[in-house]
Structure 1
Amino acid sequence: MHRGKGMKFVGDSRVPDLSNRKKNTPKDYSEYPGKTEAFWPDFLLKEWLVGAVFLVGYLVLTVAHPSPLERPADPADTGYIPVPDWYFLFLYQLLKYEFASGPFNIIGAIVMPGLAFGALLLVPFLDTSKERSPWKRPLPTGFMLLAIASIIYLTWESVVNHDWEAAKAYGEIKEEVSVEFDETSEGYQLYQGSSCIGCHGNSFEGGIGLPLVGLEYTAEEIVEIAHEGKGGMPGGTFTGTEEELQKLAEYITTLQPAE
């Protein structure tokens, strides 16, 4: 550009001419029956719209029905049985049935899930049809419907048969109890090494079981309860000798609330 000579513009050939742009056409898949369309943007846009609908639906569901939560985790509670996350509940429910639990636990935990998922993995090799309609492909459609129905049914059964309110309060300490005791005493050492501590707490404050402070039982009655159980407490859980149980029972009778 020179002074007094005006201004000149130079075009850039790298800018595409949109007026002559070709229409985005899909590849030729004529050997496959059914409708074909371009992946971008036609097919991908539909996928995004469907995904957005499901995402909004999940958000509404989580707001309307919050997940049922249990009490905070307590590492000292050895008797607590946790419930798995929702996507494993169908396997958890399967292990409750007689044919898949107890001595047959290996069947419910490994054999049956292994056969089910293995069958789903083999479906593409068992049905090599090029048909896209699910009604013309009965084998993979049947396997998939059976798998979905089984998962939904077992998950539903696991949820409705679980007492969420009882689980929330499970092991909750109903009353704060304070007690003074000698940690060097023989009775306390026996208590620390016994299974009693898992239910009655490190400081006899209670948990799954009742507090052991200020009990109105004699040592003989405590020994009898340890053998035969009482209420929700099972019998025969003490693994020590009779002499150790007697010493522990006598020690428990001396526990009194701190003033």
Structure 2
Amino acid sequence: MHKGKGMKFVGDSRISAERKPNIPKDYSEYPGRTEAFWPNFLLKEWLVGAVFLVGFLCLTLAHPSPLEGMADPTDAAYIPLPDWYFLFLYELLKYEFASGDWTLMGILILPGLAFGALLLAPFLDNGPGRRPHQRPVAIGMMLLGLVAVVWLTYTSAAHVDWEGRAEANKPIPPAEVTVDDSHPGFAAYENSCLACHGAELEGGAGPALVGLELSAEEIATIAVDGIGTMPPDQFQGTDEELEQLVDFIITVNESAE
């Protein structure tokens, strides 16, 4: 067979032989109505988000939020408050139609309807126009939600003395502990207690021994008989050494006051 003899080439008419570059459509004929998602629309979204983020970071640096101390579950008089971005929901629960017997309305039904309406806004008002007066439903729902959130947040925050709360509940710095290793009871503490309670009585496997409100007799009883997860007979020594150990622990606690 000679070269090329008997060979046939078949072409598919559905495939264009002309290659077209992957270039977005020219939307200049439709100004203000539509545009390319990439990079036109997405770039503008990123620029707006960047400006807002930089402004928010500058605000936090200029006026940092006052911090309170560690949570104390034994303080029954403390009134907890949510973070600022949940204050509008906190304020909503103060109204009669969203509290008491109507709590479910305030914590579930009303917020669910509000956020659900905002999610459905683009589908309820899906006209081709992009100007505010051409999207009355979506713009109206967004403005209503924004005004409600801002007003409820302001109303809630206006009745709270944030600086006073932070001052009243400021973190308590750790007490400075002075451990005198020349004390006669330090050797007994080092042999029997240091491994669990730390070199400065700060705690470890066992609880801290600083800030104890126990008498000398109670400390001696715990050292011998144990308490809670602490087994008995942890102290191995004479009665004199036990007295020295108790005096050492009390002396360290007095230095931390």
TM-score, normalised with respect to structure 1? 0.51
**Matched residues in 1 for 2:170 and 2:44: separation?**
50
**Matched residues in 2 for 1:118 and 1:52: separation?**
27
Which residue of 1 is the match for residue 64 of structure 2?
66
CA contact (8 A) 1:33 1:131 kept: no
Give the length in aligned residue pairs. Answer: 164
The answer to whether structure 1 residue 98 and structure 2 residue 105 are counterparts is no
**Amino acid of the residue matched to residue 115 of structure 2?**
F
For residue 38 of structure 2, the aligned residue among 17, 22, 40 is 40
Question: Which structure 2 residues correspond to residues 1-259 of structure 1 after superposition, within 5 A?
Answer: 24-26=23-25, 34-170=32-168, 179-180=213-214
Residue 56 (structure 1) shift: 1.6
CA contact (8 A) 2:91 2:152 kept: yes
CA contact (8 A) 1:127 1:139 kept: yes
CA spacing shift, 1:108–1:39, aligned 2, 3 Å: closer
Which residue of 2 is the match for residue 210 of structure 1?
none
After superposition, the CA RMSD in angstroms is 3.7
CA spacing shift, 1:33–1:124, aligned 2, 3 Å: farther
**Amino acid of the residue matched to residue 123 of structure 1?**
A
**Amino acid of the residue matched to residue 89 of structure 2?**
L
**Amino acid of the residue matched to residue 26 of structure 1?**
K
Unaligned runs of 5+ in 2: 1-19, 176-210, 219-253
CA spacing shift, 1:102–1:172, aligned 2, 3 Å: farther
**Amino acid of the residue matched to residue 140 of structure 2?**
G
**Between Structure 1 and Structure 2, whose CA radius of gyration is higher?**
2
CA spacing shift, 1:114–1:46, aligned 2, 3 Å: closer
Residue 148 (structure 1) shift: 0.5
CA contact (8 A) 1:24 1:38 kept: no
CA spacing shift, 1:171–1:57, aligned 2, 3 Å: closer
- Range moving further from structure 2, 57-66 or 122-131: 122-131
CA contact (8 A) 2:70 2:171 kept: no
Residue 139 (structure 1) shift: 1.1
TM-score, normalised with respect to structure 2? 0.52
**Matched residues in 1 for 2:40 and 2:170: separation?**
56
CA spacing shift, 1:106–1:45, aligned 2, 3 Å: closer
CA contact (8 A) 2:68 2:165 kept: yes
**Matched residues in 1 for 2:117 and 2:46: separation?**
30
**Matched residues in 1 for 2:24 and 2:48: separation?**
23
Identity, % of aligned pairs?
Answer: 55
Aligned-partner SS, 1:84: coil
Aligned-partner SS, 1:36: coil
Residue 47 (structure 1) shift: 2.9
Residue 65 (structure 1) shift: 1.2
Unaligned runs of 5+ in 1: 1-20, 184-257
CA spacing shift, 1:47–1:157, aligned 2, 3 Å: same
